[in-house]
């Protein structure tokens, strides 16, 4: 991407992002076509998004944002196929030019973040209401229709506002380049900078206690995994149940004090997973690396926004529901950090216990 300073009626200096399509060096006579570089860039993004979809979306399509994640991967695949067609056939024999694909794609992706985050937040807010208590097939259809509607509006917006005309630049060094106007996502830039600043500011007052709380969170997470492994077995003896219960009580006595506030505990759970992504993104912004919207609107950003929105809704609902929410699973362990703020152990699940003295009777015990 090549930034260019250009005059505009609104301000004396407006930064435009330009994608270099081709360039020539008059001194050496070299000609460079960047179509293959754009193709490799989109292949890398497609692979990254596919891995993020596999790791982060555990229960696919149960929420609106999970359906949006799938749609972004499919859109990346379509863009890869279009770029591959331009690369193999050449711009003269292909239906559309490389500039057309980049300009329309950047405008389309730029229009996605706002409606996706708003509808995703509304979906989570209404999760426990009667309006969203639907069967799974109805949820799939609803999410698919809403996602398709968002993409249709974004594509329509790109065809109305995006310009796909090639521009020629001549440099004093003798280099001549054909460039295309592309867009970056200002909303994602503000989102990343604001979220990074908020996380850093909230961490500072409790900086000395964070290592101790993280150790306690890891202990609670391990206890939760052990409980899930035990509850997956159908046959337990009463002796094992008693031992498990006493072990839980001992763990309760080892809980650290003081406990973090709930809002900070949830912020800590969010930052542990997403702070590396936010740090790298802020570093790129500080160094001035211009990235177009069809790259920045990816699954890492969407899942980060998903975790943030889900954490806010979980925090609000926890005042009345505690950790028992109907929100879908997330990479951030909200339940663990809720218990961390309360200094309590995970609520035990019912486990089927086989009683040998009553051969045809299973008793449910809470251990």
Question: Which pLDDT score is estimated for 324?
Answer: 63
Q: How far apart, in whole angstroms, are the C-alpha atoms of residue 60 and residue 329? A: 10
77-103 tens-digit pLDDT? 999 999 998 888 876 777 688 889 999
* Residue 165 buriedness (CB in 10 A; 0-12 / 13-18 / 19+): exposed
> 310, 330 in Cβ contact below 8 A?
yes
Compute the distance between CA of residue 85 and CA of residue 89 in angstroms, rounded to an integer.
6
- Nearest-10 crossing angle of helices 64-89, 113-125: 160
Instruction: Render pLDDT for 224-267 as a digit per residue (tens, 0 to 9).
Output: 777 666 665 543 333 344 444 444 444 444 555 678 888 999 99
Q: What is the percentage of the chain residues whose pLDDT exceeds 70?
A: 75
Q: What is the mean pLDDT of the chain?
A: 78
Model confidence at 153, in pLDDT bands (50, 70, 90)? very high
pLDDT at 277: 94
Structure confidence by residue, pLDDT tens digits, 27-50: 777 888 888 999 999 999 999 999
CA 125, distance to chain mean position in Å, is 18
Top pLDDT among 219 and 199 is at 199
Q: How many whole angstroms separate alpha carbon 35 and alpha carbon 46?
A: 17
pLDDT above 60 (res 202)? yes
pTM of the predicted structure, to 2 decimals = 0.80
Contacts of residue 329, Cβ cutoff 8 Å, sequence gap at least 6: 58, 59
Q: Measured between alpha carbons, how far is 121 from 281 in angstroms, rounded to an integer? A: 23
Residues in the chain: 367
Give the per-residue pLDDT at 344: 57
How confident is residue 9, by pLDDT bands cut at 50, 70 and 90? very low
Q: What's the burial of 350, exposed, middle or buried (CB within 10 Å: 0-12/13-18/19+)? A: exposed
pLDDT tens digit sequence for 273-331: 999 999 999 999 998 888 899 999 999 999 999 999 999 998 888 877 766 666 777 77
Residue 238: name the closest of 123, 335, 326, 357 by CA: 357
Predicted pLDDT of residue 360: 38
Among residues 285, 275, 339, 292, the alpha carbon closest in space to that of 102 is found at 292
**Is it the case that residue 200 has pLDDT exceeding 90?**
yes
The residue among 316, 362, 363 whose CA lies nearest residue 124 is: 316
């Amino acid at each position: 991407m090549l930034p260019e300073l250009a005059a505009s009626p609104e301000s004396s200096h407006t930064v435009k992002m330009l994608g270099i399509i081709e360039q020539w060096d008059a001194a050496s006579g070299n000609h460079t076509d960047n179509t293959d570089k754009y193709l490799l860039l989109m292949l890398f993004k497609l692979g990254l998004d596919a891995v993020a979809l596999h790791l982060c979306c555990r229960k696919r399509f149960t929420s609106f944002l999970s359906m949006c994640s799938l749609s972004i991967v499919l859109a990346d695949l379509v863009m890869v196929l279009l770029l591959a067609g331009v690369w193999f056939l050449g711009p003269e024999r292909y239906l559309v030019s490389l500039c057309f694909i980049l300009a329309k794609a950047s405008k389309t992706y730029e229009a996605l973040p706002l409606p996706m985050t708003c509808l995703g937040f509304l979906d989570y807010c209404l999760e426990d209401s009667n309006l969203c208590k639907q069967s799974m097939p109805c949820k799939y259809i609803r999410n698919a229709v809403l996602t398709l509607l968002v993409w249709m509006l974004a594509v329509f917006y790109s065809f109305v506002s995006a310009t796909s005309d090639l521009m020629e630049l001549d440099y004093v060094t003798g280099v001549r380049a054909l460039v295309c106007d592309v867009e970056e996502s200002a909303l994602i830039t503000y989102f990343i900078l604001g979220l990074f600043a908020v996380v850093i500011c909230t961490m500072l007052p409790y900086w000395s206690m964070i290592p101790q709380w993280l150790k306690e969170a890891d202990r609670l997470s391990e206890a939760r995994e052990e409980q899930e492994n035990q509850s997956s077995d159908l046959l337990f003896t009463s002796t094992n149940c008693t031992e498990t219960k006493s072990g839980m009580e001992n763990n309760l006595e080892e809980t650290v004090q003081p406990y973090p506030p709930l809002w900070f505990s949830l912020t800590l759970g969010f930052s542990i997973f997403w702070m590396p992504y936010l740090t790298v993104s802020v570093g790129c912004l500080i160094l001035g690396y211009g990235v177009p919207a069809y790259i920045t609107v990816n699954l890492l950003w969407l899942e980060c926004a998903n975790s943030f929105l889900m954490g806010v809704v979980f925090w609000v609902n926890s005042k009345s529901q505690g950790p028992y929410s109907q929100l879908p699973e997330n990479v951030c362990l909200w339940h663990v950090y809720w218990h961390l703020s309360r200094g309590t152990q995970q609520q035990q699940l019912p486990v089927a216990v086989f009683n040998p003295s009553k051969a045809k009777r299973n008793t449910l015990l809470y251990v």
